[in-house]
Structure 1
Amino acid sequence: MTPTGFESPKPVLAIEGLTVSFDGFKAVNDLNLYVDRNEVRVVIGPNGAGKTTVLDLICGKTRATAGSIQFEGRELTKMREYDIVRAGVGRKFQNPSIYENLTVFENLEMSYPAGRKVFGALFFKRTAEVIERVEQVATEIGLGEHLQRQADLLSHGQKQWLEIGMLLMQDPQLLMLDEPVAGMSVAERQATAELLKRISQGRSVLVIEHDMEFVKSIAHRVTVLHQGKVLAEGSMEAVQSNPKVIEVYLGH
């Protein structure tokens, strides 16, 4: 119990003792990680630290060798990928996977939850509710003026925002983004930082990123991974001044 007599809120995501071995090599090694509600957590670390593997484990793409992943009190390690999505976990990969030959509107509409199941897709109707949700998300991701534009005509940054929008259509409680600003212009990176601040109101966001200026502008807390374990955790300032982090990562 906390001194005030209130129980401290439980984390949205609680990872404990998480381990995965590939042919004897531990890519993630006895990892503990806790993400709070409405938190933007950024995971950094050198190549091969296990960052993307952690996202693969959370979304069910890779199966854990040992340990637990609790999301909103549900154990994810035994669940199938699509059930994890339905439970409220959304993931964006490094390269945007959008439907390039469809418009922005159609891409977002395709991601509306009712259209995702077989029967939902067969009987899917463009209701006022769907249109309203698409317009709302398009505005949120900065593409409100581009709804009728074909996706392949968007800039690299706009394609990344569209994919984030496709995830937002499902209203996930945990949104995971793998290097969201890779290849973006300075202006696009700034716009993405503003976007992540907006979408973290009411949901948790877990980001893997190498761009330290971007990390500084968005992170509530930073976790540094090294050889599949947590090396350090805290504010960006604390992490940057940590001698162990400087030695294995920031100093190189």
Structure 2
Amino acid sequence: MLETNKSIAQKDFVLSIEGLTVSFDGFKAVNNLSLYVEEQEIRVIIGPNGAGKTTVLDLICGRTKATEGSIKFKGTELTRLNEHQIVHAGVGRKFQNPSIYEDLSVFENLELSFPRGRNVWGALTFRRDAEVVAKVKEIADMIFLGDKLDMNADLLSHGQKQWLEIGMLLIQDPELLMLDEPVAGMSVSERKQTAELLQRITKDRSVLVIEHDMQFVADIADRVTVLHQGQVLSEGSMERVQSDPKVIEVYLGH
């Protein structure tokens, strides 16, 4: 164990979670959790309902404050920062339901998320110049919406709305992207395209995903963490966790 801790300490991680605990009226939703995410890694968190998966994302992005423990992003302690500061540090988070401006076009949704417009002065002085247009088109092509820039967002399919929200995060260029059930409600073909998208974007960043679709997990995950009652039950490759008797008993067997 000492050797393992030593090797962990010597390694540079994008995200280092150690001893993380949060209690709600005495109930520990996350209990002494330690988790380490490497650069350009797709880490998928799975587990039964109530395992603490979404709470972990809430803690990382500052929506929920930890009772104990540490969350370090590239060496910066996130537990001391508010949500806005965590976003500016380079952490982007997508929730389960798409949060987009449905009365605006795809182009306008992406443009609104362009970094220069995200503070008061930037918003007042923001101009649609060649740099903005080029970046919007680049991201739109990446999220399979390059031919739908002028379409109102409310006319997109559910899967396309999910892609648009991912694009709205990507245009801010986060170094850690967190996605909560990104393929829920998607067609089979959209799930395959989403897997391709996530594989591409890890060239520049790490991705932390919560997901229930085991085929999708197998398609994208570099490493899988299984949570149960707020703790790590098992961790490793998809093959390893699928064959772990503890995982089969509490999650996959059902």
Shorter chain as denominator, the TM-score bin is over 0.9
Partner of 1:146: 148
Q: How many residues matched?
A: 247
* Structure 1 CA distance for aligned equivalents of residues 251 and 234 of structure 2: 11
Partner of 1:136: 138
Partner of 1:32: 34
Partner of 2:165: 163
| Match of residue 109, structure 1, among 108, 111, 126 | 111
Instruction: Give the partner amino acid of 2:223.
Output: R
Partner of 2:223: 221
Superposed CA deviations along residues 83-138 of structure 1, whole A, max 9, x for unmatched, are: 00000000000000000000000000000011011121111100111111101101
1:8 is displaced (CA, Å) by 5.9
* Structure 1 CA distance for aligned equivalents of residues 31 and 93 of structure 2: 22
* Structure 2 CA distance for aligned equivalents of residues 200 and 82 of structure 1: 23
Q: Is 1:230 the counterpart of 2:207 in the alignment?
A: no
* Structure 1 CA distance for aligned equivalents of residues 178 and 166 of structure 2: 10
Larger proportion of helix: 2
List structure 1 segments (4+ residues) > 2 angstroms apart after TM superposition: none
1:61 is displaced (CA, Å) by 0.1
Q: TM-score, normalised by structure 1?
A: 0.97
Partner of 1:46: 48
* Structure 2 CA distance for aligned equivalents of residues 9 and 133 of structure 1: 34
* Identical pairs, percent: 73
Q: Could you list the runs of 5+ residues in structure 1 that have no partner in the other structure? A: 2-6
1:9 is displaced (CA, Å) by 4.3
Q: Could you list the runs of 5+ residues in structure 2 that have no partner in the other structure? A: 4-8
Instruction: Give the partner amino acid of 2:55.
Output: T
Q: Secondary structure at the match of 2:190?
A: helix
Instruction: Give the partner amino acid of 2:105.
Output: T
Q: Secondary structure at the match of 1:183?
A: coil
